């Protein structure tokens, strides 16, 4: 049986892809970002994607579904952001999730956010989210998972995953995926012997500045406001949404032709996207990098979705 999923704040469809790969059927998805929707349509189709402000969508018009999935906006909770939380209108969008949960009571809820959500405002932000779901009659499971330990992806990326199971299904326990061995390495994704598009390479004073700082030729470097430093164990730094705002926030490497940014394809691979996934010509390079920072590690989502599928099948036959 193909259990049905709706996806809020769907972005370019990372969560949808993870659930699809686990056997679910996506019946409805929503996002308000026009560029992200163009990428979504090109790769996942247009038949069920609604490009609109979720605050203006009545819960009653959403088709029947079993699972509500949402990677709700995380900049207001992120260490990299200003951490305004619910004071930020993006943080307040969580209450749109609870509005739909209240009206529709799905069997399972899947939420993804930055790991710092659990500590934000001394834990009070997470407690609001936790209590909001509990009051609607859900058992809550949550865990911080790293991309390399749970998704076999060589990226430094920790996220919190929250699974809420409706009380009438509570007799079936949800179990988190177990850690797995990392067998995919940065060298499997980055080809330093192949020349990339010329716009990827630094030249002039910027090249000279980076060359002075980047002494390890085989490393991947993270650029911040205060430093340029290599990551440990040849891991890709966390891909962040501000890659699209500050071009220098894209991780950089030496290859056989100079110093360059990671390409869009490399970033897609570090997030676990399939090889067919591409960006439309109408989406700017900066928007594409932003979308990559905002999306999810697909293999981690797929493994969680697989366990949710097992839970729902057990409930169906139990």
CA pair distance 297, 305, nearest whole angstrom:
13
Identify the CA nearest to 222 among candidates 245, 194, 252, 188: 252
- Tell me the backbone φ, ψ of residue 147, rounded to 5 degrees: -60, -40
- Residue 18's alpha-carbon distances to 92, 93, 133, 212, in angstroms, are 26, 23, 23, 41
Spatial contact of 17 and 273, defined as CB atoms under 8 Å apart: yes
List Cβ<8 Å contacts ≥24 apart for 281-286.
282/35, 282/38, 283/35, 283/38, 283/39, 284/35, 285/199, 286/244, 286/245, 286/247
Q: Where are the beta strands (DSSP E) in the chain?
A: 4-8, 25-31, 49-51, 67-70, 108-114, 138-146, 158-166, 220-223, 228-230, 252-255, 258-261
Identify the CA nearest to 308 among candidates 6, 23, 71, 8: 23
Q: What is the DSSP string of 67-98?
A: EEEE----TTT-TTS---GGGSTTGGGHHHHH
Spatial contact of 67 and 107, defined as CB atoms under 8 Å apart: yes
Catalytic residue from among 74, 236, 267, 297: 74
CA pair distance 161, 257, nearest whole angstrom:
40
Beta bridge partners of 49: 29
* Residue 297 among the catalytic residues: no
65: its two tokens: 């579904």
Give the three-state DSSP class for 110: strand
Provide the annotated active-site residues.
Answer: 74
């Amino acid at each position: 049986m193909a259990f049905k999923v709706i996806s809020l704040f769907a972005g370019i469809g990372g969560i949808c892809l993870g659930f699809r790969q686990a056997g679910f059927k996506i019946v409805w998805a929503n996002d308000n970002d026009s560029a992200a929707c163009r990428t979504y349509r090109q790769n996942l189709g247009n038949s069920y994607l609604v490009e609109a402000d979720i605050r203006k969508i009545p819960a009653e018009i959403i088709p029947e579904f079993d699972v509500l999935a949402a990677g709700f906006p995380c900049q207001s909770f992120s260490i990299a952001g200003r951490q305004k939380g619910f004071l930020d209108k993006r943080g307040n969008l969580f209450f749109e999730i609870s509005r739909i949960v209240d009206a529709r009571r799905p069997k399972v809820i899947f939420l993804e956010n930055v790991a710092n959500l659990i500590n934000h405002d001394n834990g009070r932000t997470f407690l609001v989210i936790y209590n909001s779901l509990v009051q609607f009659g859900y058992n809550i499971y949550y865990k911080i998972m790293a991309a390399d330990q749970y998704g076999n992806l060589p990226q430094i990326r920790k996220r919190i995953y929250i699974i809420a199971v409706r009380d009438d299904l509570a007799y079936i326990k949800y179990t988190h995926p177990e850690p797995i061995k990392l067998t995919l390495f940065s060298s499997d994704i980055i080809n330093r012997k192949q020349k990339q598009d010329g716009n990827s390479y630094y030249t002039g004073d910027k090249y000279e500045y980076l060359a002075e700082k980047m002494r390890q030729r085989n490393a991947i470097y993270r650029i911040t406001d205060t430093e340029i430093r290599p990551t440990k164990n040849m891991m890709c730094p966390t891909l962040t949404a501000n890659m699209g705002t500050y071009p220098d926030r894209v991780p950089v490497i030496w290859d056989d032709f100079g110093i360059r940014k990671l390409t869009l394809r490399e970033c897609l691979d570090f997030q676990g996207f399939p090889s067919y996934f591409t960006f439309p010509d109408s989406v700017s390079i900066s928007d594409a990098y932003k979308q990559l920072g905002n999306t999810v590690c697909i293999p981690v989502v797929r493994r969680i979705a697989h366990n949710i599928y097992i839970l729902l099948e057990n409930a169906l036959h139990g």
